[in-house]
Structure 1
Amino acid sequence: MKPSSLLNDLLLLNVSFDIHQLSPFLCWQVIDESQGGRNLMRQVGRHAGSVHLEKGDRVYVCVTAFSGAEGNAPPQDFGGFTIKSCTLQSVPRLRERDTFYSPSPFQCGQSVDGGTAIPIGPFKVVDHGKDERLNAFYERQISEGSVLVDEKMGIWEMSLVLVVEIKPKAATVGSHKRVFRFDPEAEVGTGTSKNL
């Protein structure tokens, strides 16, 4: 999914959840839309198991909520969701001996605390309907702004915390809030100042 209103060279952090799921964990993947949908979650090599970014990358966040089938029951449509908050946080890893990388790989002017917590948003609805392959209704929203990777190299623990309000289809049932998260490792450039 690539909204036509966005630039061609974008990194899309895709996260998703089902409104009925029990766990707080988001499913996720990072796609480089400028390079034919290249997945930035490395499976092999020195960056395996992490999200590999480069200085100058602009990262957008795309959130998809599903309402999938439960057991033998058909999937139930839902009235959408509102993103109450979305925060990207980072914790630097040790660089060498007793020095650490900067607080965040992202431009610190976007943070609320000098570097480690960056609010994402606002979001807009870009797609909704029924995914026949997954047998689930869905709504997809994307951030209108991006975060800019401002560091040349380093390693950070990264997390995204998402607070959403889920709206039922029936007006007789009230909405409810949920908190979801994911916690990958992010590497920029070679990840280290020395080739290990």
Structure 2
Amino acid sequence: MMTQPLMTLAARFDVNQVDDGIDWLFTDIESLDGVERTPEDPHWNRDINFSAGQEFRLAIVAGDQEKTDFESIEVVDCCIITRPRIICCGPDVRTWYAPPSLFVDNTGNQLGALYRIDPTAFTIHSNGVDPTKGRKITLLWNSHLIVGPYNGFWELSFYVTVSIKRNGEKVAQQRVFYFDPETEVGNGTKPPNAPQL
């Protein structure tokens, strides 16, 4: 399995947004800095095509468009959930699903469908204030996940609970945000085969 460049799955939200959805972008961390998402941008919120051997980490980007004295953000808990899709079925064919997860650990062992991320493993990558757009804080996960040698389809969900602190407020606000793109490992053209029994 060939090693691929380290990429970043960026999860972006505004601390004042009414809904709990996250915008996401699969990029490198250098390209993420300074990038603003527009509704017409086709690179945001797409299905994610992984390659076997690819390594990626997570970045959480929190903004304060309404400038509500957003001061800091802390991850309370965080997890990735994978739900495998059918890879083959039909008359006289046993139905087979992709493995529980598309990810493996550092030794190549397959991970389960629920992967908990240590909330203390996030550190501040950037923290700045734009006079017109308010504060933006980027937290970067100091570990990574590895895509296994699979060919298949998964639904991937990312849930994060954060504690939001604002200047002048004694009690931090806790919010849950999530996103759930479709993911694929493989070339996107040839359907996976069932295991040989």
- Map Cα deviations across residues 31-74 of structure 1 (whole Å, 9 max, x no partner): 1569x88xxxxx69xxxx420111111110000111112xxxxx
The secondary structure found in structure 2 opposite 1:55 is: coil
Q: CA deviation at 1:190?
A: 2.2
Per the alignment, residue 59 of structure 1 pairs with: 56
Contact 1:154–1:190 (8 Å) recurs in 2: no
When the two structures are superposed, what TM-score results if normalisation uses the length of structure 2? 0.76
- Map Cα deviations across residues 132-180 of structure 1 (whole Å, 9 max, x no partner): 5x6121111000000110133110000100110111122x431021000
Q: CA deviation at 1:108?
A: 6.0
The CA distance in 1 between the partners of 2:70 and 2:28, in whole Å, is 30
Per the alignment, residue 16 of structure 2 pairs with: 20
Per the alignment, residue 141 of structure 1 pairs with: 139
Instruction: Structure 2: give runs of 5+ residues left out of the alignment.
Output: 33-41, 90-94
The CA distance in 2 between the partners of 1:90 and 1:118, in whole Å, is 8
Per the alignment, residue 150 of structure 1 pairs with: 148
Matches for 1:65-84 after TM superposition, within 5 Å: 65-69=62-66, 75-84=67-76
Q: CA deviation at 1:90?
A: 0.5
The secondary structure found in structure 2 opposite 1:181 is: strand
Per the alignment, residue 87 of structure 1 pairs with: 79
Per the alignment, residue 72 of structure 1 pairs with: none
Aligned match for 1:102, one of 86, 99, 114? 99
Q: CA deviation at 1:109?
A: 7.9
Q: Residues 148 and 126 from structure 1, CA distance in 2 versus in 1: closer, same or farther, beyond 3 angstroms?
A: same
Matched to 2:99, the amino acid is: S
- Alignment root-mean-square deviation, CA: 2.8
Identity of aligned residues (%): 25
Instruction: Structure 1: give runs of 5+ residues left out of the alignment.
Output: 1-7, 38-42, 70-74
